[in-house]
Amino acid sequence: MNPLPPIIPLAPDSFPANPMPPGIRIANADGPGNLIMIVDDDEGVRIITEMILVQEGYRVVCAETGAQALEFIDKLGDRVALVFLDFVMPGMHCAWTLQGLRKAVPGLPIVIVSGYTANSTLERLVNETGSGFIPKPLARHKLLHSIRSALGEFSARR
């Protein structure tokens, strides 16, 4: 019978300072970029957007519904630097999701994404909440510009 090897204590700095909670998949979890949340009921949109963001070095968490986004923000808190939020999803309305996200993380930059560009409710929501807007289909350069713009404005406010 072989004895177990001795336990070697790890140095305190070998543990992550702010580990990610279990049960949440973070794409590119060890990447150098900010953590961005994508909230969209369309799997194709989530996959393509995640792929673009990971290629740019961002870490990404995806939520299929507003309720799931609120569950994730409760666990991740201000580790989330930016949220892309679909305007039209089944279940929880975009405005309620946005309100819950901002309640959890005040000042959180949110960019609303929609294929409905001529919509008075959408315009009012963007204007009243100070959120960004990007139309679908998502073009890579517009997506990346909206990130830099939203994160730059957020950093300036801090």
pLDDT of residue 118: 72
pLDDT of residue 129: 80
Question: Lowest-pLDDT range, 11-15, 103-107, 110-114?
Answer: 11-15
Which string of DSSP letters, residue by residue, matches the chain? -PPPPPP-PPPGGGS-SSPPPTT---BTTT-SS-EEEEE-S-HHHHHHHHHHHHHTT-EEEEESSHHHHHHHHHHHGGGEEEEEEESS-SSS-HHHHHHHHHHHSTT--EEEEES--S-HHHHHHHHHHT-EEEESSPPHHHHHHHHHHHHHHHHHH-
| pTM of the full structure | 0.82
pLDDT of residue 127: 83
> Over pLDDT 90: what percentage of the chain?
57
The CATH T-level fold of domain 26-157 is: Rossmann fold (3.40.50)
